Amino acid sequence: MDKKISTLYADYKQGKTNRRDFVRKLAIVVGSSAAATALLPILDENSLGASPSYQQDDDLITEFIKYPGETGEMKAFLARPKAGKKFPAVLIIHENRGLQPHIQDVTRRMAKEGFLALAPDALTPLGGTPENDQAKAVSMIGQLDNDKTIKNFVAAVKYLKTHPFSTGKVGCTGFCWGGGMTNQVAVNCPDLDAAVPYYGKQPTAEQVAKIKAPIMAHYAGEDSFINPGIPAFEEALKKEKKEYQIFMYEGAQHAFNNDSNPERYNEKAAKLAWSRTIAFFKDKLK
């Protein structure tokens, strides 16, 4: 493999550059965006075959672990700062495409902010997220047992609560399908300390009554599927006197945080939402 490409890919895998910047730089090296896109699956496949499950970079310790869930052992990607003994923890729930490299990148970013970050693979009961086949992953998500899936994520909160590198404070964030699941974790886990759903399906008014954790919800202005549920959600939060914040990012599309999807990624909205998320977690998980 060309040394320049290897260096670029190594920096990306170690969290030194995000996926969007990596793809942009790769396109320059190989001559076009089309060539870079065609090369990505090969690089990911080679990386999965050659990389150990336990990785280190200058700032973080990362590894694939298993934790006890409702359906048995669950696979997850774990990241934490190399320096320090205990950290507040954040559960990260992926989109409906499974535990993709982008979500692993988000998990590293969260760890770089000073958190013990865990991203479970919800598709573990079905054999795990398929490599380089997002369409299959979307289909598999639809085959999951919803109640058992929620319990698998609630079990992840319990795992983080008692993890030797955890302070015992645990927050949860998720994106798209994972945003809806983040709301369900808040509903079903009274021990959760904070929840930050990104453009996720809202819980019912009856479910809102069960929420104990403070909520910070992020929504895209251009999201006709998710946004109709906001008024009822906010009304229920107010009625039940829940602590919450709702932010709307006008002009942004659903999945605006996903910097591996240039058609939807909105840098301004993503950076603002991320800064608010980190400040929220640092306040609520201290």
For 137, residues 6+ apart whose C-beta sits below 8 A from its C-beta are 96, 97, 98, 100, 123, 129, 130
197 and 180 in contact (C-beta within 8 Å)? yes
Between CA 286 and CA 273 the distance in angstroms is 20
- Could you state, in order of their start, the residue ranges of all structural domains in the chain? 1-51, 54-284
Mean pLDDT of the chain: 91
User: If pLDDT is split at 50, 70 and 90, which confidence band does 27 have?
Assistant: confident
**93 forms bridges with which residues in the sheet?**
174
Ranking 3-17, 61-75, 79-93, 143-157 by mean pLDDT, the lowest is: 3-17
User: If pLDDT is split at 50, 70 and 90, which confidence band does 252 have?
Assistant: very high
Instruction: With a cut of 90, say whether residue 44 has pLDDT above it.
Output: no
Fold classification of 54-284 is Rossmann fold (3.40.50)
**Beta pairing, strands 166-175 & 87-93:** parallel
178 and 200 in contact (C-beta within 8 Å)? yes
What is the dihedral angle through the alpha carbons of 79, 82, 88, 93, rounded to the nearest 10 degrees?
-10
Q: Which of 177, 157, 175, 244 is nearest to 208 (CA)?
A: 244
**Segment 119-168, tens digit of pLDDT:** 999 999 999 999 888 889 999 999 999 999 999 999 999 999 999 999 99
Between CA 92 and CA 108 the distance in angstroms is 11
pLDDT of residue 224: 96
pLDDT of residue 15: 57
